[in-house]
Amino acid sequence: MYAVAANVILFLHVCYVSFVVFGLLLTWLGVLLRWDWIRNRWYRGIHLTMIGIVVLEAWIGITCPLTTWENWFRERAGQQQIEGDIIATWLRGLIFFEAPPWVFTCGYTAFGLAVLGTLWFAPPRWRTGSRTPSVIT
């Protein structure tokens, strides 16, 4: 049961990271293609909050709670734990690059600033109003 819980948490972590990364890419694409849904205030607020949490964790120097919980469940299941931040572990595995934690902190911060900057290029709709067309007589 512990191994299943660890895998569920890993799946949630992958979903979280995917939403943050692909959310920014879709927002930029939406600016170019003039998609109206990318200006949804809930989508943009949740997206900004999620990357904000990652940046805050990096600056404070704490391991993501999802990583901590996954490791706890893996230990109980008798499985090997992933050392350090799971995002850093994936990045090391993808590009075969060892880097000190500050490099990842800078990367997370830059990504967070990109999300924040997108608010200027494509501001969300803060008010909801009726969208009835004008009738010209």
Contact 54, 63 (CB under 8 A): no
- pTM equals 0.76
- Residue-level pLDDT, tens digit, the chain, 137 residues: 988 888 888 888 888 988 999 999 999 999 999 999 999 999 999 999 999 999 999 999 998 999 899 889 989 988 776 665 565 566 545 544 677 888 889 999 999 999 999 988 889 987 665 454 444 44
The span from the CA of 46 to the CA of 41, in Å, is: 8
Contacts of residue 73, Cβ cutoff 8 Å, sequence gap at least 6 = 2, 3, 5, 6, 9
Residues 6 or more apart whose Cβ sits within 8 Å of residue 69: 9
Write out the two tokens for 7.
Answer: 């895998």
Q: Where are the domains of the chain?
A: 2-121
